[in-house]
Structure 1
Amino acid sequence: MKRLHVYILKQFFSVFLLTLLICVFILLMQFVWSHINDLVGKGVGISVLAEFFIYAAASVIPLALPLAILLGALMTFGNLAEKVELTAMKAAGISLINIMKPLIVAISLVSIGAFGFSNNVLPVSQVKLWTLIFSLRQKSPELDIPLGEFYSGIEGFQIYVRDKDRKTGLLKDMMIYDFSEGFEDATVMVADSGRVYLSNDNKYLRLSLYNGESFENLKGQRVSGSNKIPYRRETFSEKHLLIDFDSDFSRFDESILHDQYVAKNASQLAHSADSVTLIADSIATKQSEEMIATHYFNREYPTLDVAKPSARLIAHSDIENLYETLTPQQRYMAMTYACDNARKMNDQVKYNRIVLHDPQQYVRRHRIEWHRKFSLSLACLIFFFIGAPLGAIIGKGGLGVPVVVSVAMFIFYYIIDNSGYKLARDAQWDPWQGMWISTAVLLPIGIFLTYKAAHDSALFNTDAWLKMWEKMKKKLIRKRQG
């Protein structure tokens, strides 16, 4: 390997590793923010939070890699151009393509590694991540009753506390709404003070109320035929309540996600999609056969042998004016019968569509995920062919212009990719169209920028663009005058 190649590789990967960490951190924060309600107030330990962050970071790596490569290539070649090193290399007879060759090989290997990661590591991390998220969603929130507002963290209860003695932990001016028996049989309790405890096994919540009253509706016990609703009113000096409140963190079984697309590699996705496609096709074939047998020419009994009408009779039948020969009562009966049949067919079509929706959606999501594994891996290589020539053309290094350009380019890519995904998910496009549209848009841009940079084109030279504009104006004026 030439010294120049080693130098280029060192320059790139020293920047790439830093940008990859930055991109993973940014995407990780975005993911955490979208699931912040599943984390806040749950009272889980540091180990559970560490697991969440590790699995979430692994899940965003496939999307962070293209952005990191784009930013790294922009900064590397921008630095080389800014320090006139790129000009010196070209003056020595080395073309831009030859300068890029070691990085092309390296990024190709990174793309292959990205596919391997998405195919083997990502399904495992996704299963563990979503199992953890579902477990966090089901966990009871940490018991922290705020002051001056209703606390709804306990299912079936609303608790209000006006003040709290910080030294003794005594809650003052408490109001409790108990809807555990239903809204109609709600119980309202008011107490001067009270305490809240968790049982030793963390399965129950104990409320001790002092000097208060309770009012309970007994609408469910109302005597039939009577408009009066019975109720119970109680005055107490001390009252104790025991409420189910499981504050332990229990994990879901990971097997609940094993049939989901997030848990499968490329071969498993293809196999599952093909298997369910065969089932959906057999259902659709059976539905069409039933529709034809039942409704086509109104043949409800297709197995009965009937005599063929004579050709002479058909030839002389006035089909078009047949309706006019009917009496008003016969017309009404014919129209009613036709409308009923049309309504039945419409209902049958709607039902058939509902029956086929789930298997078709299952196949669609699997095929989308299959294409995503390949498209994101190829995006790494395409973003390099955008970032490297763009950095050479712009000629600016550091974290200024390259960051702005790369973020703008990535947002452009993300909008196209996300739009294609939604169109494919909603069955408006085929999965391959939705997942490869971003590649189809960016690939010509990469080829164009590489060509321009290799030929030292003044792509961002305002004087060159002004000259071109003046030439176009002159041509237009000549055409109008001619």
Structure 2
Amino acid sequence: MKKIDKLILRSFIGPFLITFFVVVFILLTQYMLKYFDDFVGKDLGFSVFAELIAYFSINMTPIAFPLAVLLSSLMTFGNLGEHFELTAIKSAGISLVRVLRPLFVFVVCLSALVYYSNNFIVPKANLEAYSLLYDIKQKKPSIDIKEGAFYGGIPGYSIKANKKYDDDKSLGDLIIYNHSKKKGNTEIILADSALMYTILGDKYLVMELFDGRSYTEQDPSKPDKPSNYIRNIFQHNKVVFSLASFEMERTDKELFSSNRLMKNEAQLRNDVDSMQNDIIKSKRVIYRYTPRFFNLHMKEIDDIKPESVAEWEEMKEDTVKVDSDSVKIDDIEPIENQNRPKQKYLNKAIVNNNNTEEEKEVPKSVITKYDSTLIAKADSAFFSRNRGFNSIIDKPRFAKNRLKGENTRIERREFESNVYSIEANKKLSDAVACIVMFLIGAPLGAIIKKGGLGFPVIISIIFFIVSYVINTSGIKLGRAGDVNVFAAVWASNVILLPFGLFFLRQARNDSRLFEVDYYAVKIAKIFKFFKRKK
């Protein structure tokens, strides 16, 4: 490795590490504030907070890495340009592309590390973080007895202190109701004052009571006798409460492993395939279920054959004579006039005269008489046994509800499939974003020639906001199915990459893209041109 490569790498790695930890800290602070109310008053201890912060810090790395690369590359090449080091390198005959090469290799290796982290480390950290966060939410707050109000946090007891002193340990005018035996308030303790503290590693709460009385009502020995009533007067007494219900119990982590945030890319794609198979099965159920409700219109489908279809097919073999004419049931067609059920049929007939058959169309207006046997059999095709006229209305209604339910299931599955597919694509997209941000930041820093945390920070924030808006909008549209999942995830990289290539071209040509004097000269030339015209 040449000295220039070492110089560039040393100039980049320092700002990169600083900006990375600063970005993680900012994102972590913003994220943890959402759960601030769940931490207050629960006496969690430093170790629990340290564990939670460590896990959520790893959770922030997919966003922090691209932003840190963008900001650090801007600062690095901005400092090199500001101190004329980049000018000296170019004057030695070394091109800008050659200067960028060691950092580009470093960023490519970093992108591979980011992909590995997103695919394996981040899901495990999410599993630990969200399971611990759930346990914290379920943990009871530490004992906080309010003055003049009943406190019921200890199972089986209700405590009221009419006076609470500033040391948070001394209480005055105390009332304790003991209903731990689930027989009502059969035991009451009154005390003039009390002192409370914990023992055995905060597992038990001790209340030392002074100048008090206790009242206990015992169960009667026999049902027909009154209960015994006991009253005690004491100057000093101790009541011990178990604080087992206040301890934080860890939930089995496997209960959270089915969430998409806890899975790697292979598991997510496997879930997507399962969901797609489920969608296909649901659509096939709809297809196979349709003939049950539209059997008269789909009678040629033999896969599912209701009783009414079977009866209709049996009737096809019979023929009935009407006024010496032979009529086939196959030619019977219903009409819409339901007020005249006996005049619904017979659009054409096959007439037999002298053992000869001639097919002809019979107008509906000509037919005036019907055979009772024909009408009975035709009606049976629509009104099967044990079914009334309501079945004609109920079947479409039931079909509508069934199909609506299946369609809702398919829509829900398609939404879940899009969500899981987006999460799988983001593993690689977030890693490639590091390369895109480097191609934007490094040439832009060489053009701006401003280091430090001033102008580079503003430019970085602008591009980060643009990237974040594109990502958020694309993911929202992709989950709804309005755009392709691949396009929704990769839109940010595809849109911003041309900006990086444009800035690289301008930096190679020593463009003065962000210098005010450059635009002032251009504007002056435009004004001169118009003056000459006049």
Provide the rounded CA distance (Å) in 2 between the counterparts of 1:50 and 1:58.
13
Report what 2:98 is aligned to.
Answer: 98
What are the superposed Cα offsets for residues 11-50 of structure 1, whole Å, 9 maximum, x if unpaired? 1112111111111111221222122223222212322222
- Pairwise CA distance, 1:337: 8.0
Q: Match of 2:61, SS?
A: helix
Q: Is the 8 A contact 2:293 2:399 kept in 1?
A: no
Matched, 1:402 2:456: yes
Provide the rounded CA distance (Å) in 1 between the counterparts of 2:233 and 2:410.
63
- Pairwise CA distance, 1:378: 0.4
Q: Is the 8 A contact 2:39 2:136 kept in 1?
A: yes
- Pairwise CA distance, 1:122: 1.3
Q: Is the 8 A contact 1:77 1:391 kept in 2?
A: yes
Q: Match of 2:405, SS?
A: helix
Q: Give unmatched runs, 5+ long, in structure 1.
A: 215-234, 478-482
TM norm structure 1? 0.76
Q: Match of 1:35, SS?
A: helix
Report what 1:347 is aligned to.
Answer: 401
Matched, 1:65 2:65: yes
Cα RMSD between the aligned structures? Answer: 4.5
Q: Which amino acid aligns with 2:400?
A: N
Residues 466 and 151 of structure 1, relative CA distance in 2, 3 Å threshold: farther
Provide the rounded CA distance (Å) in 2 between the counterparts of 1:442 and 1:269.
27
Q: Which amino acid aligns with 2:272?
A: A
Matched, 1:52 2:52: yes
What are the superposed Cα offsets for residues 112-141 of structure 1, whole Å, 9 maximum, x if unpaired? 111111112112211111111111111111
- Pairwise CA distance, 1:246: 0.6
Provide the rounded CA distance (Å) in 2 between the counterparts of 1:442 and 1:175.
68
Provide the rounded CA distance (Å) in 1 between the counterparts of 2:148 and 2:252.
39
Provide the rounded CA distance (Å) in 1 between the counterparts of 2:111 and 2:428.
9
Q: Give unmatched runs, 5+ long, in structure 2.
A: 216-230, 317-326, 345-388
- Pairwise CA distance, 1:374: 0.5
Superposed, which structure 2 residues align to 1:25-424 within 5 Å? Answer: 25-147=25-147, 163-166=163-166, 169-172=169-172, 246-295=245-294, 302=305, 304=309, 306=312, 323=336, 327=339, 343-356=397-410, 359-424=413-478
Residues 156 and 100 of structure 1, relative CA distance in 2, 3 Å threshold: farther
Aligned length: 447
- Pairwise CA distance, 1:194: 6.1
Q: Is the 8 A contact 2:41 2:141 kept in 1?
A: yes
- Pairwise CA distance, 1:384: 0.4
Instruction: Report which stretch shifted further, 285-294 or 93-102.
Output: 285-294
Matched, 1:450 2:449: no
Q: Match of 1:142, SS?
A: coil
Which structure would you say has the larger Rg? 2
What are the superposed Cα offsets for residues 49-88 of structure 1, whole Å, 9 maximum, x if unpaired? 2211111111111211111100100000100111111122
Provide the rounded CA distance (Å) in 2 between the counterparts of 1:445 and 1:168.
62
Aligned residues: percent identity?
A: 32
Q: Match of 1:32, SS?
A: helix
Q: Is the 8 A contact 1:175 1:190 kept in 2?
A: yes
Residues 266 and 199 of structure 1, relative CA distance in 2, 3 Å threshold: same
Report what 2:493 is aligned to.
Answer: 439
TM norm structure 2? 0.69
Q: Is the 8 A contact 2:189 2:212 kept in 1?
A: no
Residues 14 and 242 of structure 1, relative CA distance in 2, 3 Å threshold: closer
Q: Which amino acid aligns with 2:127?
A: V
Residues 418 and 189 of structure 1, relative CA distance in 2, 3 Å threshold: farther
Provide the rounded CA distance (Å) in 1 between the counterparts of 2:447 and 2:189.
74
Residues 169 and 85 of structure 1, relative CA distance in 2, 3 Å threshold: closer
Provide the rounded CA distance (Å) in 2 between the counterparts of 1:140 and 1:445.
52
- Pairwise CA distance, 1:158: 8.9
Q: Match of 2:43, SS?
A: coil
- Pairwise CA distance, 1:288: 2.9
Report what 1:229 is aligned to.
Answer: none
Residues 344 and 101 of structure 1, relative CA distance in 2, 3 Å threshold: same
Q: Is the 8 A contact 1:202 1:246 kept in 2?
A: no
- Pairwise CA distance, 1:376: 0.4
Q: Is the 8 A contact 2:20 2:64 kept in 1?
A: yes
Q: Which amino acid aligns with 1:373?
A: K
Report what 1:220 is aligned to.
Answer: none
Q: Which amino acid aligns with 1:353?
A: N
Q: Match of 2:441, SS?
A: helix
